[in-house]
């Protein structure tokens, strides 16, 4: 597959077959941004018609392969696009190193991929995977070299199932911002001595979720032949090589034109747009984001009660006579014991108050009788009479003084 320049709007993706040392790095490709819908109809951001996409480099080619019609961008087959996530799934090549019994030498099939400034390989979704019982392989570019070594014994070859390095498989994380890579096998590690057991070593940069290691990948060519030596790889794409804040300053060029849309930053490829939560559609066209009627999708938005759709949201309430228990509406059962228990509790409280008051009154009267008893026993009556007589004499003296005073004034 011939390499293309950046201005052509294509991506450089190729595989080289050679004997001996690895090939050199290919030229850098171009931007990659497209939309794939189930009905295969183009949308204004990307599409099959050159007049349809937001940029000429986003055009897809519809190509017949065998009896199937497939979408391509440059040399990459497009599997899926997620506009909200700003990601694209494409098929890339597997690299392999095999012992050639005809020449008694190693045969290399090395893959290359080079993307433009607005597309990078997803570090979160991809891994560098190396397989082989005597393999050390890398993917490399100008600023990084990433790889690992894998080994295996005869016993591990029969019973192994992990990809930790000792079962014939290892994996390494992909750094962020990778736009191109070239595969490379260390020639000191090869299958020349173990070709009868495991004839080939492999290296692949592929979607982590799509890989499930099996030792049959080592003893046969099933991994390489599974999809004509193609594997799914996840790319992240963006617009304009600008942040959202920078892009908003140019209202004419700002791509998130729909109401109810959000701008998402990606430090390596610029930004992309997505509809706000509760909305779906195309954020790149005016009014492209429309409300999701959650009440029509009970699988994604379960509601066992009364569902009411609102703009960007929905509410779920229980019908009258039902209560929500653990997220489900359940019939409210009133127990026959509720009324007696409540009534008995209230009666018990009232009875307790009455008994307490009666006890306090009784104790108060008892105390009064005791005081009267002690008063009489200790001469209280005599003292009381004496106090009364003293009070009488005091009163007589007071009256006498007032009378004398009044006569004196006359």
The pLDDT, as a whole number, for residue 223 is 94
Higher-scoring residue by pLDDT: 395, 263: 263
235-238-242 Cα angle (round to 5): 140
Look at residues 251, 221, 218, 263 and name the one whose alpha carbon lies nearest to residue 84.
Answer: 263
- Phi, then psi, of 289 in degrees rounded to 5: -95, 115
pLDDT in tens, 19-50: 554 433 333 333 333 333 333 333 444 445 55
pLDDT band at 237 (very low <50, low <70, confident <90, very high): confident
CATH of domain 245-331: 2.10.25
pLDDT in tens, 85-104: 989 999 999 999 999 888 88
* 82-91, 210-219, 370-379: least confidently modelled range: 370-379
pLDDT band at 183 (very low <50, low <70, confident <90, very high): very high
Write down the domain spans for the chain: 6-237, 245-331
pLDDT band at 294 (very low <50, low <70, confident <90, very high): very high
Higher-scoring residue by pLDDT: 203, 60: 203
Q: Residue-wise over 249-265: b if at least 16 C-beta within 10 A, else e?
A: eeeeebbbbbebbbbeb
Higher-scoring residue by pLDDT: 214, 404: 214
Residue 406 pLDDT > 70, yes or no? Answer: no
Q: Note the helical H segments in 249-379.
A: 338-377
Q: What's the pTM value of the predicted model, to 2 decimals?
A: 0.68
Look at residues 113, 117, 147, 111 and name the one whose alpha carbon lies nearest to residue 33.
Answer: 117
Query: Mean of the per-residue pLDDT values for the chain?
Result: 80
The pLDDT, as a whole number, for residue 336 is 55
The pLDDT, as a whole number, for residue 29 is 31
Match 């032949």 to its residue by tokens.
225
Q: Residue-wise over 353-388: b if at least 16 C-beta within 10 A, else e?
A: eeeeeeeeeeeeeeeeeeeeeeeeeeeeeeeeeeee
Helix (H) or strand (E) holding 322: strand 322-325
The pLDDT, as a whole number, for residue 45 is 47
Residue 407 pLDDT > 70, yes or no? Answer: no
pLDDT in tens, 2-23: 333 333 344 666 565 555 544 3
β-strand pairing of 105-114 with 12-19: antiparallel
| The most confident of 27-36, 314-323, 366-375, 383-392, by mean pLDDT | 314-323
pLDDT band at 232 (very low <50, low <70, confident <90, very high): very high
pLDDT in tens, 247-260: 999 998 899 999 99
């Amino acid at each position: 597959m011939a390499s293309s320049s950046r201005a052509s709007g294509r991506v450089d993706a190729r595989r080289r077959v050679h004997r001996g040392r690895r090939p050199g790095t290919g030229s850098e490709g171009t931007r990659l941004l497209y939309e794939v819908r189930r009905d295969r109809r183009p949308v204004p951001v990307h599409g099959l018609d050159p007049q349809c996409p937001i940029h000429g480099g986003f055009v897809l080619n519809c190509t017949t392969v065998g009896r199937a019609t497939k979408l391509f961008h440059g040399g990459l087959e497009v599997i899926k696009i997620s506009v909200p996530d700003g990601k694209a799934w494409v098929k890339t090549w597997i690299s392999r190193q095999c012992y050639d019994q005809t020449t008694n030498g190693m045969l290399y099939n090395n893959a290359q991929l080079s993307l433009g400034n607005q597309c990078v390989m997803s570090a979160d979704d991809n891994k560098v995977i190396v397989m082989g019982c005597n393999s050390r392989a890398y993917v490399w570019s100008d600023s990084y070299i990433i790889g690992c070594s894998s080994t295996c014994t005869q016993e591990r070859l029969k019973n192994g199932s992990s990809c930790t390095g000792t079962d014939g498989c290892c994996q390494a994380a992909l750094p962020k911002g990778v736009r191109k890579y070239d595969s490379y096998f260390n020639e000191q590690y090869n299958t020349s001595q173990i070709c009868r057991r495991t004839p080939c070593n492999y290296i692949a940069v592929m979607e982590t979720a799509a890989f499930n290691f099996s030792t049959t990948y080592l003893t046969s060519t099933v991994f390489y032949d599974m999809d004509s030596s193609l594997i799914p790889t996840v790319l992240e794409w963006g617009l304009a090589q600008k942040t959202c804040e920078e892009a908003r300053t140019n209202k004419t060029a700002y791509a998130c034109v729909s109401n109810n849309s959000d701008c998402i930053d990606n430090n390596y490829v610029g930004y992309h747009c997505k509809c706000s939560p509760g909305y779906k559609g195309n954020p790149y066209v005016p009014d492209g984001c429309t409300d999701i009627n959650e009440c029509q999708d009970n699988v994604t938005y379960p509601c066992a009660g009364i569902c009411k759709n609102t703009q960007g949201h929905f509410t779920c309430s229980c019908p009258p006579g039902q209560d929500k228990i653990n997220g489900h509406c359940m019939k409210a059962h009133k127990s026959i014991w509720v009324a007696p228990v409540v009534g008995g509790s209230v009666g018990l409280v009232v009875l307790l108050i009455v008994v307490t008051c009666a006890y306090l009154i009784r104790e108060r009267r008892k105390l009064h009788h005791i005081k009267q008893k002690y008063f009489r026993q200790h001469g209280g009556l005599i003292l009381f009479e004496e106090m009364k007589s003293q009070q009488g004499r005091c009163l007589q003296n007071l009256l006498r003084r007032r009378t004398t005073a009044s006569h004196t004034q006359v």
